[in-house]
Amino acid sequence: MPAQCYICSGKAVFKRPKNSQAICKECFFEKFEKEIHETIINNKIFAKGDKVAIGASGGKDSTVLAYVLNKLNQQYKYEIQLVLLSIDEGINGYRDDSLETVKRNEIEYNLPLKILSYKDLYGWTMDEIVKEIGLKNNCTFCGVFRRQALDRGAMMLDCNKVVTGHNADDIAETVIMNVLRGDVARLRRCMAIMTGSEGTLPRCKPFKYTYEKEIVMYAYFKRLDYFSTECSYSPNAYRGNARAYIKDLERIRPSSILDIIYSGESLSFKDDVKMPTQGKCSRCEYVCSQPICKACVLLEGLNKGLPKYGIGKHHKKNKQQHQHSTSETSY
Ligand SMILES: Nc1ncnc2c1ncn2[C@@H]1O[C@H](COP(=O)(O)OP(=O)(O)OP(=O)(O)O)[C@@H](O)[C@H]1O
C-alpha cells in the first residue's frame, strides 16, 4: 500500500529528506513555499519597496528561487520588485546553454533580465582564463569575478539587494570546509543569511534552510524549466569531499544538514576573530578588505601573462597577514 501523506492522508509521493515524513504533492508545495516565506519573514530579508536582483544561473536552485519568490511576492504582498541578473562567465557549451533557460524564464515569469559578461567586465572569458591557468585554480577566478559581477550588475540595475540560490546543503558544506581549513573568519561569515557591509549590497540566501533534494523535487513536480548540466570546469575536490562526508552522515542521521547549520549558528567567536574591515580598491574602487581587490590582483596576473599571480606563494604570504581572502564562492 502506498505511503500516506502525514498531513492530509492522501497518496504520498516522497519522504521529506529532513524528517523522513511521507508527503503528497500538494501538501509538499504548500509546506515548501510556507517554510521559505517564514525564513524571509523571520529574518526580515525584504522590506517594502526593495528592488531585488535574483542571481539567475539557469540551474535548479536559482530557477526555483525566481519562481518561488515571484509567487510569494504576489501571494503575501511583499511589494518588492524582482529582476533576474545573469552573469555570463563565457563557458562555451555550458553557460551559453543555461542562459537560454534564463531567457525563457524571463518570459514565463514576466521578470526583467539583465545579462552581464566577464568579457565585458574584465576582458576575459572563463574559456580564455582556463587556457592560461588550466583546470586547477580556475574556480578561484570564477568565484571572485562572479561575486563582484553580481554586485556590479545589481548596482547598474538600481537594486538594493541580491539574492542567490545557495541552499542548506551548500551552507552545511561551507561550514565543514571552513572548520577543516581553520578559516574561522569565513566560518563566522558563512552562517549569516544576509551578508554585506557598507558600500556593498546586502546578499541574501532565502534557501539557507532548504534542502537541495527538496528544491529538485519542487522543480520536478512543478515542471520548471531549468538547466541541469554541471560546469565543465568545476572539479572542486575540496567541496566534493565535504559533500560526500555530509551525504554519509545523512544516511545515518537525516537531519545532519540542518544540525550542522544549527551548530554553526550557535558558535560564539573569540573577540580576536575579526571580520575583514572594508575599504575601497585603489584601482577599481570596488569595496574590498585589501588595498587592491582580489579581482584586480587576479586580473593583473592574467594581463601580465602571470595567471598564478594572486593564487600562488605570493598569495600565501599575504594570507599570513590577512585572513584568507579567496577560494571558490563560499559566501
Ligand atoms: N552565472 C551566474 N549568474 C547569476 N547568478 C549565479 C551564477 N552562478 C551562480 N549564481 C548564483 O549563485 C548561486 C549558487 O551558485 P552555484 O554555482 O553554487 O550553483 P548551483 O548550486 O548549481 O545553483 P543553481 O542551481 O542555481 O545553478 C546560484 O543559485 C545563483 O543564485
ipTM entry: 0.97
| Start-end of H helices in the chain | 25-42, 60-75, 95-109, 118-122, 126-133, 138-156, 168-181, 184-190, 212-221, 237-252, 256-266, 294-303, 313-321
305 alpha carbon – ligand 1 mean position (Å): 29
**Quick one: average pLDDT of 67-80?**
98
- pLDDT value, residue 312: 60
- pLDDT value, residue 317: 47
- pLDDT value, residue 292: 92
Q: Which residue has the higher pLDDT, 170 or 200?
A: 170
Cα 54 from Cα 63, distance rounded (Å): 9
| List of residues 6+ apart from 321 with CB closer than 8 A | none
- Locate the ligand 1 atom nearest the alpha carbon of residue 163 and give its number: 31
140 alpha carbon – ligand 1 mean position (Å): 15
Q: Binding site: what residues are annotated?
A: 55-57, 61, 87, 165, 170
Per-domain residue ranges of the chain: 29-275, 277-314
For ligand 1, atom 5, which residue shows the shortest CA distance? 55
Domain 29-275 is of which CATH architecture? 3-Layer(aba) Sandwich (3.40)
Residue 195, pLDDT > 70, answer: yes
Specify the range with the lowest mean pLDDT, choosing from 76-90, 156-170, 277-291.
Answer: 277-291
Using 50, 70 and 90 to split pLDDT, how confident is the model at 289? confident
- Locate the ligand 1 atom nearest the alpha carbon of residue 234 and give its number: 17
317 alpha carbon – ligand 1 mean position (Å): 31
For ligand 1, atom 18, which residue shows the shortest CA distance? 166
- pLDDT value, residue 1: 57
Pairing of strands 287-288, 279-280: antiparallel
Nearest in space to 149 (alpha carbons), one of 125, 121, 181:
121
**At 307, is the secondary structure helix, strand, or coil?**
coil
Cα 221 from Cα 197, distance rounded (Å): 38
**Quick one: average pLDDT of 100-129?**
97
Using 50, 70 and 90 to split pLDDT, how confident is the model at 103? very high
Pocket of ligand 1 (CB under 6 A): 55-57, 59-62, 85-87, 89, 146, 164-166, 170
12 alpha carbon – ligand 1 mean position (Å): 30
Cα 293 from Cα 289, distance rounded (Å): 7
Using 50, 70 and 90 to split pLDDT, how confident is the model at 331? very low
86 alpha carbon – ligand 1 mean position (Å): 9
**Quick one: average pLDDT of 53-60?**
97
**Quick one: average pLDDT of 132-153?**
91
Q: Which residue has the higher pLDDT, 272 or 256?
A: 256
pTM of the model: 0.91
- Locate the ligand 1 atom nearest the alpha carbon of residue 165 and give its number: 29
For residue 63, give the C-alpha cell: 530557477
Best of 57, 87, 224 for a ligand 1 pocket test (most atoms within 8 Å of beta carbon): 57
Using 50, 70 and 90 to split pLDDT, how confident is the model at 330? very low
- pLDDT value, residue 135: 85
